[in-house]
Amino acid sequence: MSAIWSVMLKEEKNKMKKGAKISNAVIRRLPRYRRYLGELQKKGVDKISSNEFSKLIGYTASQIRQDLNNFGGFGQQGYGYNVKDLYSEISGILGLKNKYRLVLVGAGNLGHAIANYIGNYRTGFDIEGIFEVDPEMIGVDLNGVIVTDYDSMVGFVESRKTDIGIICTGKESAQEVADKLCFAGVKGIWNFAPVDLEVPGHVAVENVHLSDSLYSLVYHINKKESKETKETKESKESNS
Amino acid sequence: MSAIWSVMLKEEKNKMKKGAKISNAVIRRLPRYRRYLGELQKKGVDKISSNEFSKLIGYTASQIRQDLNNFGGFGQQGYGYNVKDLYSEISGILGLKNKYRLVLVGAGNLGHAIANYIGNYRTGFDIEGIFEVDPEMIGVDLNGVIVTDYDSMVGFVESRKTDIGIICTGKESAQEVADKLCFAGVKGIWNFAPVDLEVPGHVAVENVHLSDSLYSLVYHINKKESKETKETKESKESNS
């Protein structure tokens, strides 16, 4: 890294720390930037311009510059972005340089899928406990973790200082599980149950509402269809 | 429904049809509005003001009015929103009054979870075929659908005129599956593999990137922590 670049980066970082509030929309885009930067790194790409990045990621170049300016930019005029540094910076901003202790509640199919996914794909995230009420599931080895009786969850979370609780139960029990997780001291809840949870202000919640994503898809299918019908009609009219 | 309300609604609907392009952010919020309106209906609530709705859903009242104005408003001054009508309108806008034929590819844990979820919770969405390469899975009954050899997928999708393909395979095979689904004529792809797919312009794609959601959670955990540390420090300073 050149000296100028290094100094610039430091200044930008200071700017960032003092920085204004970042909108949720920008935060939601950061993991995507990081994902693409990770792929570029794997392919041995060192630097990328906002225009090249735009073609790859599907945001406009100006959107990219604006987003990354929120954190001080990290880019240099005429050089573009240093892939490795930007990846590292975004990882830092998101808090992905730390390690997190997790528990998972609900060892049904979804619980299995999530435990496998975290275990196989996500370094830095360690599922230490899996809890379930169904006696048939208790004792099963799930990706190296033995499924345990739900009754022992609170004690476990308290003693392990668990950071994140993942809720993979049904809709009906989700709020009760969330209450217990919060009581036991988790900092965040990753909720897969189709219900919005109420939690104390110091606990972060991320809901994965699969239906919201499915319905969004359906809207876009219908929009594309009506656009095509319109275009076909217009092309017929202009041909006649 | 009063005559005036009915006339207003009709005018608003016309406005909607002519309406400008709706932003993706608004579309993403509509399923959430619908979800809450559904809960209100179940509780027997007939109407709700934007202020009451705001407390419930966690968006500001002005955000709610602005969002729903995109579609013509549906509200009446001094009355609020008619819960049933608004639910029905949003369902219509999203295209949820139609029925959709689906296939699912990849019958691992995640595939199981998604098949159960759609089968048990989502009316209007019918998974007609489940495809898999693993010979051990072929022939298994998954929520009433027999898992079938992946080789027969294209023919099935073509003959059934399948609307949506759900990809629950690993990252490596996802693009190939998407290519085949598009070739066979699906209108949309719901993708759970952690990779951004390339598809023709007439096919809609909705990616469920679980890691994006997890990383967003981690960001908010760290933000809340640093805010608390700051507040504790400030309170100590003001006490000293």
What is the DSSP annotation of B115-137?
Answer: HHHHHHH-TTEEEEEEEES-TTT
CA dihedral B137, B139, B140, B145 (to 10 degrees): 120
pLDDT band at B11 (very low <50, low <70, confident <90, very high): very low
Instruction: State which amino acid sits at residue B59.
Output: Y
Tell me: pLDDT of A6 over 50: no
Sign of CA dihedral A222, A225, A227, A230: negative
The residue with greater pLDDT, B196 or B133, is B133
Record: contact A190-B109, CB cut-off 8 A: no
CATH pick for A100-211 out of 3.90.1150.10, 3.40.50.720, 1.10.10.60, 3.40.50.20: 3.40.50.720
Q: Which of A6, A29, A22, A9 is nearest to A72 (CA)?
A: A9
DSSP state of A41: H
What is the pLDDT at residue B210? 86
Distance, first Cα to last Cα, chain A: 64
- State the average pLDDT over residues B133-137: 95
- State the average pLDDT over residues B25-53: 90
What is the pLDDT at residue B201? 93
What is the fold, at CATH topology level, of the domain defined by B2-93? Arc Repressor Mutant, subunit A (1.10.10)
What is the pLDDT at residue A234? 64
Tell me: pLDDT of A139 over 60: yes
What is the pLDDT at residue B236? 61
| Residue A100 with chain B: CB contacts under 8 Å | 218
Q: Which of A36-45, A92-101, A159-168, B231-240 has the highest mean pLDDT?
A: A159-168
Tell me: pLDDT of A111 over 80: yes
Domain residue spans of chain A: 2-93, 100-211
Q: Which of A49-63, A188-202, B6-20 has the highest mean pLDDT?
A: A188-202
Fold equal for B2-93 and B100-211: no
Closest-CA distance of chain B to residue A215, Å: 6
Closest-CA distance of chain A to residue B46, Å: 21
Mutate to test the interface with B, among A221, A226, A228 (most CBs of B within 10 A): A221
Tell me: pLDDT of B117 over 80: yes
Which positions 133-152 of A are in contact with B (Cβ < 8 Å)?
Answer: none
Give the model confidence (pLDDT) of B141-188 as tens digits.
998 999 999 999 999 999 999 999 999 999 899 999 999 999 999 999
Record: contact B212-A32, CB cut-off 8 A: yes
The residue with greater pLDDT, B206 or A23, is B206
Which positions 147-186 of A are in contact with B (Cβ < 8 Å)?
Answer: 163-164
The ipTM value here is: 0.80
Record: contact A221-B112, CB cut-off 8 A: no
What is the pLDDT at residue B151? 97
Which of A199-208, B28-37, B97-106, B198-207 is the least confident region?
Answer: B28-37
Helix H or strand E segment including B236:
helix B210-239
Residue with tokens 């998604």: B114
Q: Which of B152, B95, B92 is nearest to B128 (CA)?
A: B152
Are A169 and A163 spatial neighbours (Cβ–Cβ below 8 Å)? Answer: no
Tell me: pLDDT of B5 over 50: no
Mean pLDDT of chain B: 85
Are B216 and A28 spatial neighbours (Cβ–Cβ below 8 Å)? Answer: yes
